[in-house]
Amino acid sequence: MKLAGKRLGPRNTKLWHAALTVVLMSLSFASAASYKLATFSLKNGLRVVCLRKKTSPIVSFSIWYRCGSMCDRLGKSGVAHYLEHMVCASAGGEFKDFLEKVGADHNALTSLRSICFYEIVPMEYLETVFGYEARRMAELDMQEKVFLSEKGAILEERRMTHDSSPAGELYEATVANAFNRHIGGISVLGWESEIKDLQLQDLRDFYDEWFAPNNAIILVVGDFPDVEYLKKIAEKHFGAIKEKVQQPPAENGARPSLFKEITLASSKNSSWNVEYIYHVPTTYGNDIRKNIGLELLISVLNQPDFFLRKTMEHHLNIAHSVVLAYLAKYFQFDVVSIDICCSSINNNSENVWNYLRKKLLNIGLTKGDLDVVKSQRQLAFAHKEDNIAHISMHIGQMLSLGYKPEDIQSMDDILQSIRPEECNEILREIFSQEPVLISRSVPKDHDRD
Ligand SMILES: [Zn+2]
């Protein structure tokens, strides 16, 4: 395994979670005002989902190819992300000039589940964007010269975000250990040695298989005339592109491993971190009520006033920070992590978590606890409701995770109707099990007390 023997530094909780949002796109169920999503499909399988918002005369176009790094083949990690770079660089020139000329906000991102390209433009340019995106779906001229220069850029990106960041390294080590997936697509950026070995043909193979209308979802949010108009321009630009057959991504042994403990030491480390990873029952699957209930539960547990953090951070003063996260749709399963950063890990501090976990299971959360996070959600969303970039990312991520438009638009109603008993049942289902992984990051040459 590539990470073996590496020096790993202190866990930086913020970085860890920043990495996770990029890599995992964990669900964040914003409490939304009611969305009215319209949807249609072309004969070649291309799905278009749209939301009309007449706040300003701009429109957000995003295309979500459902082939993130989980589709990287064994030994070829980083292909999906590399292709994202190649698509931008190869089709770049003319499209990029156009986007800059019209003052577009545009970018691309790769996650475990998808590769997304988005452009926010004045409404009058929407059809031009459809045209460019259709051309790069239909045919991409990938040059060796561009391939080599992007390889340099990607290795540099890896160095910046992973190799120079102890948190990034620890993140990779932890997920690789947690999921028995030492080689392959666990790391969106890819392992360094595998990136170096990639050939242009690997990208062509990936592109030829996955960049197809039947593997893509277009999302349009903003002030477009009407759905009929979108049907017309979607058919005009994408209608002739042929569908393709995709092989389902190999699991590559990406299954939850048996219980493991890992400890990573670094001389740069001055604090101790311990992280527990709990399995979310596979029955949660696409059960949206369970997923939203779990998201709300995690929000309650993360409240600074809730007894969990209050006890650890203030009363007993054993932790600098305690952060819980729900990492949804991670391959075929979901996990919950609790990350405790403390001045020292000893049996005592780990015992405290075990004690608090039992207390948590006994008392659970109340209606009052739940109401607080529900209104926080509503407030947070109210601030972003007019921001079409935010709404596009939110809806697009849900769609690429496999949620149906009906589910997405009814999320607010579901969220408001979740009862404390449901959250407490979820609490028991998750926290009465043993963790699947405990990982510790400790200063070098400091043995555990
Ligand atoms: Zn990149």
Residue 447 to residue 431: CA distance in whole angstroms: 28
CA of 147 to the centre of ligand 1 (A): 13
* Residue spans of alpha helices (H) in 302-343: 307-309
Structure confidence at residue 71 (pLDDT): 84
CA of 84 to the centre of ligand 1 (A): 7
CA of 91 to the centre of ligand 1 (A): 16
CA of 81 to the centre of ligand 1 (A): 6
CA of 245 to the centre of ligand 1 (A): 27
Structure confidence at residue 439 (pLDDT): 80
Residue 264 neighbours by CB under 8 Å, 6+ apart? 8, 170, 173, 439, 440, 441, 442
Q: Tell me, yes or no, whether 6 lies in a domain.
A: no
Q: Tell me, yes or no, whether 7 lies in a domain.
A: no
CA of 59 to the centre of ligand 1 (A): 25
CA of 175 to the centre of ligand 1 (A): 20
Residue 92 to residue 111: CA distance in whole angstroms: 21
Structure confidence at residue 7 (pLDDT): 26
Q: Tell me, yes or no, whether 8 lies in a domain.
A: no
CA of 154 to the centre of ligand 1 (A): 6
Q: Tell me, yes or no, whether 250 lies in a domain.
A: no
- Are residue 267 and residue 231 in the same domain, yes or no? no
**pLDDT tens string 385-404:** 778 898 899 899 889 888 88
Structure confidence at residue 281 (pLDDT): 83
Q: Tell me, yes or no, whether 448 lies in a domain.
A: no
Residue 192 to residue 241: CA distance in whole angstroms: 35
Pick the range with the lowest mean pLDDT from 5-14, 119-128, 179-188, 302-311: 5-14
- Are residue 231 and residue 290 in the same domain, yes or no? no
Please say whether the beta carbons of 238 and 61 come within 8 A. Answer: no
Give me the chain's average pLDDT, please: 81
CA of 80 to the centre of ligand 1 (A): 10
Q: Tell me, yes or no, whether 316 lies in a domain.
A: yes
CA of 248 to the centre of ligand 1 (A): 24
- Are residue 95 and residue 146 in the same domain, yes or no? yes
- Are residue 228 and residue 283 in the same domain, yes or no? no
Residue 17 to residue 170: CA distance in whole angstroms: 12
**pLDDT tens string 195-217:** 999 999 999 999 999 999 999 99
Indicate the SS3 state at residue 331.
coil
Q: What is the mean pLDDT of residues 134-146?
A: 93
C-alpha closest to that of 84 among 176, 157, 169, 186 = 157
- Are residue 219 and residue 102 in the same domain, yes or no? yes
CA of 113 to the centre of ligand 1 (A): 15
CA of 83 to the centre of ligand 1 (A): 9
Number of domains in the chain: 2
Query: In what helix (H) or strand (E) does residue 276 lie, and over which residues does it extend?
Result: strand 272-280
- Are residue 270 and residue 173 in the same domain, yes or no? no
CA of 50 to the centre of ligand 1 (A): 27
Structure confidence at residue 339 (pLDDT): 84
Pick the range with the lowest mean pLDDT from 48-57, 151-160, 376-385: 376-385
- Are residue 87 and residue 199 in the same domain, yes or no? yes
In CATH, what number is assigned to the domain containing residue 152?
Answer: 3.30.830.10
C-alpha closest to that of 8 among 194, 344, 263 = 263
- Are residue 93 and residue 230 in the same domain, yes or no? yes
What range does the domain containing 189 cover?
A: 13-238
Q: Tell me, yes or no, whether 356 lies in a domain.
A: yes
CA of 82 to the centre of ligand 1 (A): 7
CA of 316 to the centre of ligand 1 (A): 42
CA of 190 to the centre of ligand 1 (A): 11
DSSP state of 35: P
- Are residue 273 and residue 194 in the same domain, yes or no? no
Query: In what helix (H) or strand (E) does residue 334 lie, and over which residues does it extend?
Result: strand 333-342
CA of 22 to the centre of ligand 1 (A): 11
Residue 348 to residue 162: CA distance in whole angstroms: 32
- Are residue 156 and residue 93 in the same domain, yes or no? yes
Residue 350 to residue 339: CA distance in whole angstroms: 12
Query: What pLDDT band is residue 75 in, cutting at 50, 70 and 90?
Result: confident
CA of 330 to the centre of ligand 1 (A): 21
pLDDT score of 32 more than 70: no
C-alpha closest to that of 61 among 235, 219, 229, 224 = 219
- Are residue 184 and residue 290 in the same domain, yes or no? no
Structure confidence at residue 448 (pLDDT): 47
CA of 157 to the centre of ligand 1 (A): 6
CA of 138 to the centre of ligand 1 (A): 22
The amino acid sitting at 14 is: K
Q: Tell me, yes or no, whether 92 lies in a domain.
A: yes
- Are residue 168 and residue 315 in the same domain, yes or no? no
Tokens at 416, concatenated: 């408001």
What sign for the dihedral angle of Cα 65, 70, 71, 76?
positive
CA of 328 to the centre of ligand 1 (A): 22
CA of 85 to the centre of ligand 1 (A): 6
Tokens 């292909």 belong to residue: 79
